[in-house]
Structure 1
Amino acid sequence: MFKKLMSIFILAAVTVSLSACSNQKASTAEAKANNNIDVVVSFNPMKEFAEAIGKDKINVKVVVPEGTEPHDFEPKPRDMESISKAKVFIYNGLGAETWVDKTLSTLNNKSLITVEASKGADLIKTTDYDPHTWLSLKEAKVETKNIKDALVKADPDNKDFYEKNYEDYSKKLDELYSEYKAKFDTVKNKNFVTGHAAFAYLCRDFSIEQKSVEDMFAEGEPTPQKMKELTDFAKTNNIKTIFMEELASPKVSETLAKEVGAKVEKIYTIESKEDNKDYIQSMKDNLEKIYDSLK
């Protein structure tokens, strides 16, 4: 009986101790989170870059929900409140988020550090500037530097931490660029077909060319004339893969692929987080699929 009572007592003591440790850890984590820099970002690529630089010293909130085209998004009052209460607000710019200027003009937070991540990028202009700068490994370095500078400004005590994370991330971008620059330099065919014209910056990085079913903002169905041009192009250039994206219409890509006897492959615009891949993984996947289609 005595041994049984002692066993119960010891078990109870261990349970209480473990519970106390668990609560202490939770409290420590909560206190740490409360001391972090509050960062609000417009959509997924900005989240990827901010977390790569800020890691566990920032709390990140995303305004545009997963699966939503950022160009078409309209912020709710709760979104505007989140931005107003943040220390740092990061957006891409160049019209990717048409709602930003109006939103920022209504805020009362004079100390808010705003970051137009694409500022200083080497821009591509058609009728307007192409906003898809994050889909270039080279321009991603510009964007992450702008984000790093803002985090240093918001939290100067941790400058070395942000600087090191930026250098580490830049190295990863450089390594991926070098790997695929060598690969793309070996292919003679430089043309591939996408769902919408999001990949001009990626193309410039590697001296390849995209033909797209839809325009850069994936607006509107292509005309019969545009479809005929794409069909003729695909047949003439022996295109074996038609790429499609999650936020652009897959049906048109599928129709074109069927017409020319090609397969359909998914490619990432990274506007939302897909297949649980981070930015580096998504870009590597994109580059490998495009390279395979050109061989």
Structure 2
Amino acid sequence: MKKSIAIFAIIVSFLTFTACSKEKNANSSNVEKNSKIQVVVSFSPLENLVRYIGGDKVEIKTLIPTGSEPHEFEPKLKDMKLLNESKLFIYNGLGIENWVDKTLGNINKDSLEVVNSSKSIKPIKIAEKGDANHGKYDPHIWLSLKSAIKQSENIKEGLVKVDSSNKKFYEENFKKFKEKAEKLYGTYREKLSECKNKNFVTGHAAFGYLCRDFNLKQSSVEDVFQEGEPTPKKIKGLVDYCKRYNIKTIFYEENVSPKVSNTLAKEVGGKIKKIDTMEVNKKDKDYFDIMESNLEKIYLSLK
């Protein structure tokens, strides 16, 4: 009898242990299933795109602080740790993050999916050879609706690789993004085609891909990488350019001093207006809020 009771106790203990283990595994599985995917992006513009495609399935961390130059950034130990702890790293490409290859060579890439968001986008060449700090291509692809569609597709594919259980969610969000981008592009292609003047002036040459989309031409106070003070000769050339094309609006970016743009505007009897390159992140505006605002400002300046 005692032997029977002992055997019964062992069986009950085993079943209880098994049940607890299954419950623990189920809970653990549930946490993993419901937890957000850790995504690291190199800089702010990519955060706008990832937020749209990833929605509430992702937690986004940005490596480069707002206002810092992406090509001058040097990852610290905390950045390497962040990458090692994340599932997905997304960078812009086209040479703007010249530290990426070296950084990825120093971390465990087995558990990290890496996405170059510029993949399959036709670049605009700005130099025959890039130097130590810059690539040879204009990197501002996110300011083009057409290019942003491709970037978002690359982001979607990366998310699907690391989180296949939510594949349908990411694909639906990409489909919505593409439809919205194409609709906005169609609206402004029609509006901008009506403008006889196709020329505008910006603080720095960030809108090359947008110009390619809409057959426009930008002239700028600073170059693609916002380097160097403009010379008197450069300012005179811009004044002549504005007078030739009757340009009365001089655009400047949020993270750049408007001093030179103000000087230029006074010379031509015009005004300055802020335009958004997305390099300062805004949680209250999504990608399309910013792009529509930019396009409307450019359109009004050309009328």
Taking the aligned partners of 2:70 and 2:33, their CA distance within structure 1 comes to: 28
Cα gap change, 1:233 to 1:33, in 2 (>3 Å)? farther
Aligned residue number for residue 113 of structure 1 = 113
Deviations 1:36-61 (A, max 9, x none): 21111111121111111111111111
Please tell me whether Structure 1 or Structure 2 has the larger radius of gyration of its CA atoms.
2
- The residue type paired with residue 42 of structure 1 is S
Q: Deviations over 1:156-209 (max 9, x none)?
A: 111111111100111111111111111001000000000000000001111110
Q: Which secondary structure does the structure 2 equivalent of 1:65 belong to?
A: coil
Could you report, residue by residue, the CA deviation over 1:105-130 in whole angstroms, capped at 9, with x for unpaired residues?
A: 11123221000001110211121211
Aligned to 2:122: 122
Which residue in 2 is equivalent to 1:48?
48
Q: Is 1:93 aligned with 2:101?
A: no
Corresponding residue to 1:279 among 281, 287, 290: 287
* Paired amino acid for 1:232: D
Whichever residue aligns with residue 260 of structure 1, its letter is V
Identity, % of aligned positions: 56
State how far apart, in whole Å, the 2-side matches of 1:88 and 1:213 are.
37
- After TM superposition, give the deviation of residue 84 of structure 1 in Å: 1.6
Quick one: distance in 1 between partners of 2:266 and 2:282? 25
> Is the aligned partner of 1:137 residue 2:145?
yes
Structure 1 position 136, deviation (Å):
0.3
Shift of 1:274: 4.3
Contact 1:68-1:247 at 8 Å conserved across structures: no
**Secondary structure in 1 matching 2:138:** coil
Q: Kindly state the Cα deviation for residue 216 of structure 1 after the two structures are TM-superposed.
A: 0.1
- 5 Å matches for 1:207-286? 207-274=215-282, 276-286=284-294
Which stretches in structure 2 are left out of the alignment for 5+ residues?
Answer: 1-29, 128-135
SS in 1 for 2:185: helix
> Take 1:242 and 1:275, find their aligned partners in 2: how far apart are those partners?
26
Give the TM-score normalised by the residue count of structure 1: 0.86
Q: CA deviation at 1:76?
A: 2.0
Q: CA deviation at 1:31?
A: 5.0
The answer (yes or no) to whether the contact 1:268–1:274 under 8 Å persists in 2 is no
1:150 to 158, 161, 164: 158
Aligned length: 266
SS of 2:94's equivalent in the other structure is coil
1:240 CA displacement: 0.6
Deviation of 1:95 after TM superposition, in Å, equals 1.8
- The residue type paired with residue 285 of structure 1 is S
Given that residues 246 and 268 in structure 1 are in contact (C-alpha distance below 8 angstroms), is that contact kept between their aligned partners in structure 2? yes
Instruction: Tell me how far apart the structure 1 counterparts of residues 31 and 267 of structure 2 sit (CA, whole Å).
Output: 59
Evaluate the alpha carbon distance shift between residue 33 and residue 190 of structure 1 in structure 2; reply closer, same or farther with a 3 A threshold: farther
**Which residue of 1 is the match for residue 10 of structure 2?**
none
Which deviates more, 38-47 or 209-218? 38-47
Q: Is 1:182 the counterpart of 2:200 in the alignment? A: no
Contact 1:69 1:271 in 2 (8 A): no
Query: What is the aligned partner in structure 2 of residue 171 from structure 1?
Result: 179
1:103 counterpart = 2:97: no
- How far residue 66 of structure 1 moved from its aligned partner, in angstroms, is 2.0
Instruction: Give the aligned residue type for 2:112.
Output: L
Measure how far apart 1:34 and its partner are: 6.7
**1:243 positional shift:** 0.2
Secondary structure at 1:110 match in 2: helix
Give the CA deviation at 1:276. Answer: 3.5
| CA-CA distance at 1:237 after TM superposition | 1.1
Identify the range of structure 1 (142-151 vs 44-53) with the bigger mean alpha-carbon deviation.
44-53
Structure 1 unmatched runs, 5+: 1-29
Residue 96 of structure 1 and its aligned partner are, at CA, apart by: 1.8
> C-alpha distance in 1, partners of 2:147/2:228?
28
Residue 99 (structure 1) shift: 2.0
